[in-house]
Amino acid sequence: MLLLLLLLPIVAFAEKNVAQAEAHGEKNTPWQNYVLRCSGCHDMDGSGSLAGGIPPLPGFLGTFTQDPAGRLYLMHVPGIVASSLDDAQLAELMNYLNDKWGDPQGYPAFTAQEVKTLRGTPVEDVVKYRRQLVKRYLKEGMKTADYPWP
């Protein structure tokens, strides 16, 4: 929690600079988008927060990116839904994250069209949907992170 409080001024400064860059037609790199839109919950190292209900990414993301249902889930994670990134930026971000913490050999790269399709596919209860996926993954012997939500 202390780390999050220490990061807030840095993120605020970065957001101001990003807004200025975007006003001039410059796009963020996937790393910058991770820092600005994901690291507040998943931390800079992707470790998440078990107490906060945020699963870690390293070692577990690939389970979701290798499975069509997992890819659908990822596009409905609250941070993705609220990210304000367009479909192409989200595809770039997801590919960056999978290369860093997932299984880059075990999945097709996300495309802007796939992201658009997945974002347009309704998921009524994302927590319930994740629990169903994890149950299936565990039954199939796939690794998943702890997830304390009911």
pLDDT digits (tens, 9 = 90+) for 94-121: 999 999 998 877 789 999 999 999 999 9
Give the 3-state secondary structure of 104-150: CCCCCCCCHHHHHHHHCCCCCCHHHHHHHHHHHHHHCCCCCCCCCCC
pTM assigned to the model: 0.80
Q: pLDDT at residue 67 above 70?
A: yes
Paired tokens of 46: 């992707």
Taking CA 102 as the corner, what is the angle to CA 96 and CA 103, rounded to the nearest 5 degrees?
105
Domain boundaries, the chain: 28-139
CATH of domain 28-139: 1.10.760.10
> Contact at 8 Å (CB) between 134 and 144?
yes
> What string of DSSP letters covers 63-103?
HHHTSHHHHHHHTTSHHHHTS---HHHHHHHHHHHHHHHS-
Q: In which band, very low, low, confident or very high, does the pLDDT at 2 lie, cut at 50, 70 and 90?
A: low
